[in-house]
Structure 1
Amino acid sequence: MRSHWSNCITHFDADVDGFVADYFSEPSRRVLLVAAAGFDPRSQRVARTLASTLGPRLTAIFIREERPAPSGKLLAAADENEAALRTIVPGCTILQVEIFADDGAPVGGTRIVKLLGQNPVPEDITDVVLDLSALSTGVGFPAAMMLLEDCEAAPGRTFHLMIVSNPELDDQISSVPSSQASAVRGFAPPIDVGGDMEIAQVWIPQLAHGRAAALTRIGVAIGKCYKICPLLPFPARNPRRADDLLSEYRSALVDEWAVDPRDVVYASERNPLDSYRTLSTLKKRFDRTMAGTYQLRMVLSPVGSKVLAAGALMAAIEHKMAVQYMETESYTFLEGDEQHQDPGDMIVHLVLSGPMYDSYATSEP
């Protein structure tokens, strides 16, 4: 059990820069960064922040997610980001990950695990940093689980998560979902189908702008649910974001999912620990409610904010929850309205494992 996650070391915005400048300035630190090298404008932020302090003590694996027939504009943006990342971290490794097999099946998770296995973390690395900012769920979640387990098994090695978040920018990125929903690799815990108790599924879809079609298909694939508890970002930088999403999803919430308003849950758009704690609390409550009557299966569908998704990732790993998603076939990046200024990026840093928690573990009852 990773009980320290409820209050794990977390930094936000300017405090992240302060932590990086202080902690990673120690000459003994050798850091491996794992991040995306795609079209997303946030791809370079974490690499630049770390490189400014670590210099040659920073190595990196950058993941290039390849999808069929990308637009020329997005391909050019990805090429530009990759070239910049090669300059920021000289000698970095670029992993090309084909997201779909020849038959159209989503295989990004399986392939990233295989590629990371072929590029193991060097023994002298003291810290591994996973930048989730621009990684898809199908690739980022399996990579996170693999790297976390590797760090927990290596004495003295620390595992960090970093996320550069910009909800307004997320709204400008639209996606075309694939035709089939599937479980994220490593996040499909076995079910005792032959047991005495009936399986009761609780689905927690994360509502996000423009993702209604994908969530509808995921819901159909999941099938009958005991409860559907939509997750909304609140508090949020835009105070009306939750209201806007409720309006956008009104048909699905009322007509398709028949959601009881009391089952809607909220988590901070800024702090992944709020999402983690909320989902953990739900799990414990449903465990108590269904004990001896139903076999609980909680299914998460994090399709929006990477901050909320990071909390969902932690909850899924800690409580063995299923993660069902719809892989993206293609993206479209819409230019922002010049009349509305972008409020800028937010950045979050979490320490999920490492020597910092040694005393915490020994002090537990």
Structure 2
Amino acid sequence: MRWDPYSLTGDAKFNVFWKRHLAERERRILLVVGKGFDVRALETARRLHELSANVHVWLLAFHNGQQDSAIRRARTEKNVEGLGKLFPPERIKEVDINLGGAFEEPVASRQTYEKIRGAGDPNAYDDVIVDISAMPRMVAMTSVAVLLRGLDLAAATGRSVNLHVTTAESVTADLAAGQGSLRDQVSFVRGFSGELTSQTTKNLPHVWFPVLGESQRDRLDRIHQKLTPDEICPVVPFPSREPRRGDEIIYEHRELLFDTFQVEPRNILLACEYNPFEAYKQVFEAMDRYRRALNTLGGCKAFVSPLSSKLLSIAVLLACYDHLFGEVPGKRLKVGIPYVETATYADPVQKPDDPFELYSMWIRGEWEIVAQTAADAGMSDERNV
């Protein structure tokens, strides 16, 4: 497993980690952020500015062709203005991403993939930070996936760039961001289709791992209709900040899960809400059990839907990425990440003082060399927090 050990920094140690990291040597940093209305949009940028980091910014300006409400427009403009006060305009590059209209084919992942690849060369920097706090789910996951794969491939030529993912995590703020209405179609993170429609693998069983959050009935129903899974293993956030959150999520969706989907209670899995790397291991291992069990029958297709927090969404991406590109013995899974995007957003009811925790996940780069050296020497990775 690639991310075992791992490097995760929680809110209390965020500044300590980055101050130490920046002091090690001169670093050129690329910060990828969303041009959004979320009140947490600038937290990573503020912290880096306070530490006098040498930062260039790719500002992902996503739109769906619809008129923004006055409150969303005002909050977005406030965030853009705030970013301009932190970094000079010549260091901020706006990257336009068309999400497609509400009644059009979902194109967010494909558009994000193309725009990120065309925005510039991330290998020109020492560290790339993707702050997903104010990004739509598909934009966030695709941005991380395309940068991770590109930097991994570039490392083969000898240039190793660090990739970090940050997010200001708050379940309360996520729920208050304005849920709106959903698209009718199910879409997949680019490169993670699971070969759902492939004729050559159409007879392979489908195993679905929906990572559950609040108010996901409609998404669950649409993805279920698309996948027609043979086995369903719901993933519940536990342990979590709210001890009863997992129970409440199961109770909220009990009729759909147990009556309609006929989920076996023993199939329910647990994933740590506030540690994406532990959740990654839990999801990866659950997927791998099916891979090993069904390999003798020709294999299977595994689909993982990120319907919970952004931290758990990164856990989903890492588990699927590791199965697709990592060191897996034997036959690989066909891996898909299906999701139903938001078509229209309701006005957010977030408050500026909503509590959150800022997380920094070191996904690739120098830490892997340190971790491997420590493992070879029989030492533990002291960056695990």
Asked if TM exceeds 0.5, the reply is yes
| 1:34-76 alpha-carbon deviations (Å, 9 max, x no partner) | 1112011111111111121134x11111112212233221122
Tell me the residue number matched to 1:5. Answer: 3
Retained in 2: the 8 A contact 1:101–1:107? no
Retained in 1: the 8 A contact 2:194–2:302? no
1:66 maps onto 2:63 in alignment: yes
1:202 maps onto 2:192 in alignment: no
Retained in 1: the 8 A contact 2:168–2:357? yes
Query: Structure 1: which 5+ residue stretches go unaligned?
Result: none
> How far does residue 27 in structure 1 lie from its aligned partner after superposition?
4.9
1:156 maps onto 2:160 in alignment: yes
Tell me the residue number matched to 1:20. Answer: 18
| 1:117-154 alpha-carbon deviations (Å, 9 max, x no partner) | 22223554100011122222221222112211232214
Distance 1:33 1:314 in 2: 20
Tell me the residue number matched to 1:306. Answer: 310
| 1:250-303 alpha-carbon deviations (Å, 9 max, x no partner) | 121122211111111111111101220011111221122212114211101102
1:127 maps onto 2:108 in alignment: no
Tell me the residue number matched to 1:264. Answer: 268
Distance 1:350 1:139, change over 3 A: same
- Aligned-partner SS, 2:262: coil
Distance 1:253 1:241 in 2: 17
1:345 maps onto 2:356 in alignment: yes
Distance 1:42 1:194, change over 3 A: same
Distance 1:5 1:307 in 2: 15
1:322 maps onto 2:319 in alignment: no
Tell me the residue number matched to 2:49. Answer: 51
Distance 2:102 2:253 in 1: 34
Q: Which of 225, 229, 232 is the matching residue for 1:228?
A: 232
Distance 1:334 1:130 in 2: 23
2:181 is matched by which residue type in structure 1? V
> How far does residue 244 in structure 1 lie from its aligned partner after superposition?
1.4
Distance 1:93 1:303 in 2: 30
Query: RMSD over aligned Cα, in angstroms?
Result: 2.4
1:327 is matched by which residue type in structure 2? E
What percent of counterpart residues are identical? 25
- Aligned-partner SS, 1:205: strand
Normalising by structure 2, report the TM-score: 0.86
1:110 maps onto 2:113 in alignment: no
Retained in 2: the 8 A contact 1:34–1:62? yes
Q: Which of 284, 295, 300 is the matching residue for 2:299?
A: 295
How many correspondences in the alignment? 357
> How far does residue 334 in structure 1 lie from its aligned partner after superposition?
4.7
Retained in 2: the 8 A contact 1:70–1:330? no
Retained in 1: the 8 A contact 2:39–2:351? no
Distance 1:100 1:310 in 2: 24
Tell me the residue number matched to 1:331. Answer: 345
> How far does residue 194 in structure 1 lie from its aligned partner after superposition?
2.9
Distance 1:208 1:156 in 2: 36
1:335 is matched by which residue type in structure 2? V
Distance 1:267 1:345 in 2: 20
- Aligned-partner SS, 2:42: helix
> How far does residue 360 in structure 1 lie from its aligned partner after superposition?
4.5
| 1:324-343 alpha-carbon deviations (Å, 9 max, x no partner) | 011111222453699xx94x
| 1:17-46 alpha-carbon deviations (Å, 9 max, x no partner) | 110111123451110011112011111111
Distance 1:162 1:187 in 2: 22
Tell me the residue number matched to 1:176. Answer: 181
> How far does residue 102 in structure 1 lie from its aligned partner after superposition?
8.9
> How far does residue 354 in structure 1 lie from its aligned partner after superposition?
0.9
- Aligned-partner SS, 1:210: coil
Query: Structure 2: which 5+ residue stretches go unaligned?
Result: 325-334, 377-385
2:272 is matched by which residue type in structure 1? S
- Aligned-partner SS, 1:82: helix
Distance 1:236 1:212 in 2: 21
Tell me the residue number matched to 1:142. Answer: 142
Distance 2:82 2:88 in 1: 10
- Aligned-partner SS, 2:3: helix
Retained in 2: the 8 A contact 1:142–1:186? no
Distance 1:356 1:239 in 2: 32
2:358 is matched by which residue type in structure 1? I
1:110 is matched by which residue type in structure 2? R
| 1:312-351 alpha-carbon deviations (Å, 9 max, x no partner) | 010111113200011111222453699xx94x11122111
Distance 2:191 2:113 in 1: 10
Retained in 2: the 8 A contact 1:4–1:360? no
Tell me the residue number matched to 1:242. Answer: 246
2:203 is matched by which residue type in structure 1? E
Distance 1:306 1:90, change over 3 A: same
